[in-house]
Structure 1
Amino acid sequence: MADTAIRTRTQKPVPAKGRAGKAGRLPRAAVHHPWWFALPAIVVFAAFFLVPNLLNFYYPFTNWSSYHPDIAFTGLDNFTTIAQDGSLLRAIRTTLLYALLAAVFQNGFGLGLALLLEADTRFNRFFRAVFFLPVLISALATGYVFQSLFNQDGAVNGLLGTDIPWLGSTTWTLFLVTVVHGWKWMGLSMLIYLAGLKGIPGEMLEAAKCDGAGPWRTFWSVRWPMLAPALTFNVTTALIGSMNTFDIVQATTGGGPAGSTEVFNIYMFRIFGQGLYAQASAMSLVLFLVVVAVAIPLVIGLRRREQLL
Structure 2
Amino acid sequence: MSTNRAILIPGSSQRLADPASRKPRGRNGDHPLWFLLPALVVLIVFFFVPTIFNFIYAFTNWSSFNTSIGFVGIDNFVSLFSNGSLINALRVTLVYAVLVAIFQNLFGLALALLLEKDTRINRIARVLFFVPVIMSALAVGYIFQALLKPEGALNEILGFISGTDVTIAWLGDTTWTIVIVALVHAWKWMGLSMLIYLAGLKTISADVLEASRLDGAGWWQTLREIRIPLLAPAITFNVATALLGSMNGFDIVQATTEGGPGGTTELLNIFIFRTFGQGLFAQATTMSLVLFLMVAILAFPVIRFLRKREDVL
Which TM-score applies when normalising by structure 2? 0.89
Tell me whether 1:166 sits opposite 2:167 in the alignment.
no
Q: Structure 2 CA distance, aligned partners of 1:110 and 1:12?
A: 69
Q: Structure 2 CA distance, aligned partners of 1:104 and 1:290?
A: 19
Q: Structure 2 CA distance, aligned partners of 1:46 and 1:269?
A: 24
Q: Which amino acid aligns with 2:203?
A: G
Deviations 1:256-303 (A, max 9, x none): 011010011111111111100011000101111110111221112111
Hey, what does 1:177 align to over in structure 2? 181
Gaps of 5+ in 1: 1-7, 16-22
Deviations 1:72-95 (A, max 9, x none): 111111111101110111111111
Hey, what does 1:277 align to over in structure 2? 281
Hey, what does 1:106 align to over in structure 2? 104
Structure-2 change in CA distance of 1:220 and 1:158 (3 Å): same
**Preserved CA contact (<8 Å) 2:9 2:15:** no
Classify the secondary structure of the residue corresponding to 1:254. coil
Q: Structure 1 CA distance, aligned partners of 2:252 and 2:258?
A: 9
Tell me whether 1:194 sits opposite 2:198 in the alignment.
yes
Hey, what does 1:264 align to over in structure 2? 268
Q: Residue 25 of structure 1: CA displacement?
A: 8.6
Aligned residues: 295
Deviations 1:229-255 (A, max 9, x none): 111111111111111100000000000
CA RMSD of aligned residues (A): 2.3
Tell me whether 1:214 sits opposite 2:218 in the alignment.
yes
Classify the secondary structure of the residue corresponding to 1:195. helix
Tell me whether 1:123 sits opposite 2:121 in the alignment.
yes
Q: Structure 1 CA distance, aligned partners of 2:299 and 2:178?
A: 22
Deviations 1:103-140 (A, max 9, x none): 11100100000000000111111111110110000111
Structure-2 change in CA distance of 1:9 and 1:281 (3 Å): closer
Classify the secondary structure of the residue corresponding to 1:164. coil
Q: Structure 1 CA distance, aligned partners of 2:83 and 2:14?
A: 83
**Preserved CA contact (<8 Å) 2:105 2:193:** yes
Q: Structure 1 CA distance, aligned partners of 2:177 and 2:77?
A: 30
Q: Structure 1 CA distance, aligned partners of 2:244 and 2:125?
A: 27
Q: Structure 2 CA distance, aligned partners of 1:207 and 1:233?
A: 28
Alignment of 1:66-85 (within 5 A): 66-85=64-83
**Preserved CA contact (<8 Å) 2:137 2:251:** yes
Hey, what does 1:290 align to over in structure 2? 294
Deviations 1:165-210 (A, max 9, x none): 1111101111100000000000010011001100101111000000
Hey, what does 2:149 align to over in structure 1? 151
